[in-house]
Structure 1
C-alpha cells in the first residue's frame, strides 16, 4: 500500500521541495510539496490535502495556518511539525540530514 506524504513550508522553494526530493525514492511512499503563502511556487490546495495520508509542516506557524484556513479538508489527518526553521538552501546537506532524522520514524 502506498502512502501519500505531503510536505509544507511557506513558499515551497527550499524546505518542502527538499523534503519531497529526499523521500521521493522511498518504497511505498509518494511525495508532494506545497507552500502555505499565496505567492508559493506550488500553493497548497484542498485537493493536495485530500490526497495526503500524512502531512509534515516545517514550523508551528505552518500548522496554525493550515488548521485555521484548511480545517475542513484535514478530516483528522495527522499533521506533524518538524520544527525546522527557514535557515537552509535547497538540498542543503544539513537540511537533508535533519529531514532524514525527523521524518524517517514516521515512515516506518
Structure 2
C-alpha cells in the first residue's frame, strides 16, 4: 500500500483490526474522506486461496456492487 493508492481509492478494505489501525495511523492525513473498512477476516490464508477469495467476495459485496 502506498500514499498514491490511498489518494486514488474511494474506499480501503483491510482484513483485520490491526491492519486498520496501521493504515489509519500511517495514512491519517490522506484518508480525510476515504473510509477504511475492516472485513474481519483472519490474515492466515495464502495468496489466492479459494476460501479467502470466497470470503472476500462475500464481505466486500456488502459494501460495493460487484459485477460479473
Q: Which TM-score tier does this pair reach, normalised by the shorter chain?
A: 0.7 to 0.9
If the length of structure 1 is used for normalisation, what is the TM-score? 0.56
**In structure 2, how many angstroms separate the alpha carbons of the residues matched to 1:100 and 1:89?**
16
Matched residue of 1:56: which SS?
strand
- After superposing on structure 2, the runs of 4+ consecutive aligned residues of structure 1 that deviate more than 4 Å are none
Q: Match of 2:25?
A: 68
State the 1:76 CA deviation.
2.4
Give the gaps of 5 or more residues in structure 2. Answer: none
**In structure 2, how many angstroms separate the alpha carbons of the residues matched to 1:95 and 1:46?**
26
Q: How does 1:45-56 map onto structure 2 within 5 Å?
A: 45-56=2-13
Q: Are 2:16 and 1:81 aligned?
A: no
Q: How does 1:1-108 map onto structure 2 within 5 Å?
A: 44-108=1-65
Aligned residues: 65
Deviations 1:44-75 (A, max 9, x none): 22111000011101110111111111100001
Q: Match of 1:10?
A: none
Bigger proportion of residues as strand: 1
Higher relative contact order (CA 8 A, sep 6+): 2
